[in-house]
Structure 1
Amino acid sequence: MRREHGTPRPGWEKTIEGQGLAYHRLAHPEGLSRPYWDESVHYVFSMDEVDALEEQVEELHRMCLSAAEHVVSAGRFADFAIPKWAAEEVARSWERRDPYLYGRFDLRYDGTGPAKLLEYNADTPTSLVESSVVQWYWLQDVHPGDDQWNSVHERLVDRWRELHLPPGPTHFAFTNMDETGEEAMTVAYLQETAEQAGRETCAVAMEDIGWDALNRRFVDLDERMIRSAFKLYPWEWMLADDFGRQAVRHSTWIEPLWKALLSNKALLAVLWELYPGHPNLLPAYLDGPRDLTSYIAKPLLGREGASMRVVTPGGVESTPGSYGREGYVHQGFEALPSFEGQRPVLGAWVVGDAAAGLGIRETSGLITDDTSSFVPHRIEQP
């Protein structure tokens, strides 16, 4: 694994916008000199490294499914801040094995040892368009003789064919609260993969979904019944909404309700309980840092690196935010590796149960947040 420099393609902005990354100008806070999509640098991996990472990611995925089984069997919903009224429905969703599509592991990796799990974005992961589509076309334009860890698109299409969903169109739901367009483009891309798999689809805003109390069903603006829906809208928001009690019992949602267990950072502590000392895990506890001298406190339901606190013998570093009401997990802290002063976090995609590809975000800080930039990667041919 190494970081290399290159010359951006002429007109790269229009190129990536035409490939779906229309939100790249708005994906960053104002005032940053570095663009969100940065093809002036990229990372290079060997095939052996990628093969090893694929095996580790699929093992982590299996471990997470075992952790979900443990949480349901032991009734540990309070550790995940699941409302009491929803706990039984989460259990039922798991016991039914409600269908699931994809997720993204965030990993610490420097090329010299096993990857370390930082968190699992199992409910509403983004950076999908740039991982699946945009960096693939960059590879074809700039390094056509090399490969890339990227079968995301093909696996998504195949996964849609595998899913057993109710008859009728599958709705694809985004939220009108999305100010950058990232969520709308992600949902549109996933809708396209479903259509390529032969599924009938239609788009809808979450805010436009209605509850037909007489017939006890969700409907869209045309009064069509919503039998199945992909939603880029986290379950903790749905459970807090007025229609949350109906949502857990009606319609097939992707991602399913049981993914609320895997998208919650309490998962990190449960994994450490079940697999203490595992080479792909960092120590993590729900009741405090215990004997950790360096740790990071992460809100159970935080996003974009907000409301975190890094504690080391050298001091304390915090990020602003309003998360944390539900509690925190305390995870052993190992700084992301530094490559020329930039720290990459590897976003490893899982589609169904298979490792599917890689997206890399990097930042100069200790915590990857909304100021990070996405950079492409390639696999060097021997």
Structure 2
Amino acid sequence: MKRIAINERPNWQSRAESFGFKFHTIDGERYWDESAYYQFTLSQIEKDLEDPTAELHQMCMDLVSRVVDSEELLSRLSIPPAYFDAIRESWKEGHPHLYGRMDFSYNGKGPAKLLELNYDTPTSLYEGSAQQWDWLDQCIQMGMLPSHADQFNSIEDQLTQVFCELQIDRPFYFASITGSEEDKGTTDYLRMIAEKAGIQTHHIYLEDIGYNGQRFVDQQENWIPHLFKLHAWEFIMHEEFGPLVASSDTQFFEPMWKAVLSNKGALPLLWEFNKGHPNLLPTFFDGEPGRPVPKGWVRKPFFSREGANIELRTADEQLVKVDGPYTDAPYILQECAPLPKFGDSYTLIGSWVIGDNAAGIGIREDDSLVTKDSSRFLPHLILD
């Protein structure tokens, strides 16, 4: 695993925007960064990332099957009791899912260590799929990279297959929050893939979804039969329309059983049921969140996102603390597996699961040990 500097493509910004990737720069700061790339061997990809991702995903599915049948475990995850039955039914009835992402600390040597699961509303999808593939393809055409360079990236192909297998013949709505260009870009990309699979799609802002007393509807009072909502279940469960979800006839993506995996309380349960697995870190529920973080550990709230409210103390006493709004839920303690440092940047690998298959990776860089929403996205390639 190497970080290698490379020239940027001429006019890559306008090319990205022409494909709909308009959030390549956020608040004047570079988000997509092609001034360097990460190079892996095929063995590193297959043995250290792809195979563990597939194995950990099956462990996650096993965890859901255990949790939905246990009110004690559902309670430990801080899921409101009013949703226990709906979550259980969504799993038992086999409600289909689209995707998820695991975040790893990995330096090219030894086992990758799972830091987090992003299984309900993961973003960085477009840049992990279409954008970095376009970068590789054009760089090869321009002679900037060798012709036999490859990439671990079958995300779009596998998403197309998943949408085809759904066999949906009614309109499929894709919802994002008003004002978020990144979320709109993610839903537009998923819409494009769904349409390629022959599905009629519409975009709707979450704030525009209504309820007519019986069904969820759009602004024209049309029924919403299928809904991809880029909005976390833990938020929905505390909102006005949350209690109506279980009795509605809308099919939700991601399904409600993803609430089991979309909070960090799943990580101590994964460790409890698979203790000693080489890709897992010792992780426990934190019964004393007011005490200082022990040396060599990380404290994370169940529902934090983009690195918010994480407190980390390395074995050599380096302390990193990120502020944020997620202070109203329990916490976990996870053994610290510091991100590797390449040059001046700390590197995180996001490994995608599409349906039930490992499908590709995306790489984020930050000048801190905690990856945040401002962290840069860099492409990768495979070259032996």
- By the TM > 0.5 criterion, same fold? yes
Secondary structure of the residue that 1:107 maps to in structure 2? strand
Q: Which 5+ residue runs of structure 1 have no aligned equivalent?
A: none
| Counterpart in the other structure of 2:275 | 276
- Give the match for residue 157 of structure 2: 154
| Letter matched to residue 152 of structure 2 | W
CA-CA distance at 1:182 after TM superposition: 0.4
Q: Do 1:289 and 1:295's aligned partners in 2 also have CA atoms closer than 8 Å?
A: no
TM-score (norm 2): 0.93
Q: 1:365 Cα deviation (Å)? A: 0.7
The Cα shift of 1:248 comes to: 2.7
Q: Determine the C-alpha separation between the residues in 1 that align with 2:122 and 2:374.
A: 17
* Runs of 5+ unmatched residues, structure 2: 142-146
CA distance in 1, matches of 2:298, 2:8: 36
- Secondary structure in 2 matching 1:143: helix
| Equivalent residue, structure 2, for 1:235 | 233
For the 8 Å contact 1:292–1:332, the answer to whether it is kept is no
Mapping of residues 255-334 of structure 1, within 5 Å: 255-288=254-287, 293-313=295-315, 314-334=317-337
Q: Deviations over 1:28-57 (max 9, x none)?
A: x55x5xx11110110001111111111110
Once the two structures are TM-superposed, the CA of residue 350 in structure 1 deviates from its matched residue by: 0.6
| 1:30-109 alignment runs, 5 A limit | 32=29, 35-52=30-47, 53-75=49-71, 76-109=73-106
CA distance in 1, matches of 2:378, 2:314: 29
After TM superposition, give the deviation of residue 147 of structure 1 in Å: 0.6
Aligned counterpart for 1:222 among listed residues 220, 223, 227: 220
Offset at residue 20 of structure 1 (A): 2.4
Structure 1 residue 177, shift from structure 2 partner: 4.4
- In structure 2, do the counterparts of structure 1 residues 73 and 65 end up closer, same or farther at CA, with 3 Å as the change threshold? same
Establish whether residue 119 from structure 1 lines up as the match of residue 113 from structure 2.
no
Q: Report if aligned partners of 2:286, 2:330 keep a CA contact under 8 Å in 1.
A: no
Contact 1:101–1:254 (8 Å) recurs in 2: yes
> 1:311-355: CA deviations, max 9, x gaps?
245153210101031111111001101111211111111100001
| 1:237-284 superposed Cα distances (whole Å, 9 cap, x missing partner) | 111110101113311100000001111100100000000010000010
Q: CA RMSD in A?
A: 1.7
Q: Quickly say closer, same or farther: Cα 1:292–1:320, change in 2 above 3 A.
A: closer
Instruction: Give SS of 1:286's match.
Output: strand
Query: Alignment partner of 2:349: what SS?
Result: strand
Task: Indicate yes or no: 2:342 matched with 1:339.
Answer: yes
- Counterparts of 1:372 and 1:200, CA distance in 2: 34
Within 1, Cα distance between the matches of 2:24 and 2:167?
35
- SS of 2:25's partner is coil
Per-residue deviation, residues 143-196 of structure 1 (Å, max 9, x unmatched)? 35111011111111110011255x411111111142xx0000110110010000
| Deviation (angstroms), 1:124 | 0.5
Question: Structure 1 residues 69 and 292 mapped into 2: Cα distance closer, same or farther (>3 Å)?
Answer: farther
Q: How far off its partner does 1:292 sit?
A: 6.3
Q: 1:19 maps to which residue?
A: 19
Aligned residues of 1:23 and 1:182 also touching (Cα < 8 A): yes
The residue type equivalent to 1:114 in the other structure is P
Change (3 A) 1:289 1:133: farther
The one of 175, 178, 192 equivalent to 1:173 is: 175
SS of match in other structure, 2:223: coil
The answer as to whether partners of 1:169 and 1:228 remain within 8 angstroms in 2 is yes
1:379 aligns with 2:382: yes
- Give the corresponding residue for 1:194: 194
Matched residue type, 2:242: G
Alignment partners' CA distance in 1, 2:301 and 2:217: 34
| Mapped contact 2:25–2:31 kept (Cα < 8 A) | yes
CA contact (8 A) 1:20 1:129 kept: no
Distance 2:298 2:140 in 1: 38
Q: What displacement does 1:309 show? A: 0.6
Q: Write the letter of the residue equivalent to 1:305.
A: G
Name the TM-score, length of structure 1 as normaliser: 0.94
Distance 2:41 2:164 in 1: 32
- Structure 2 counterpart of 1:212: 212
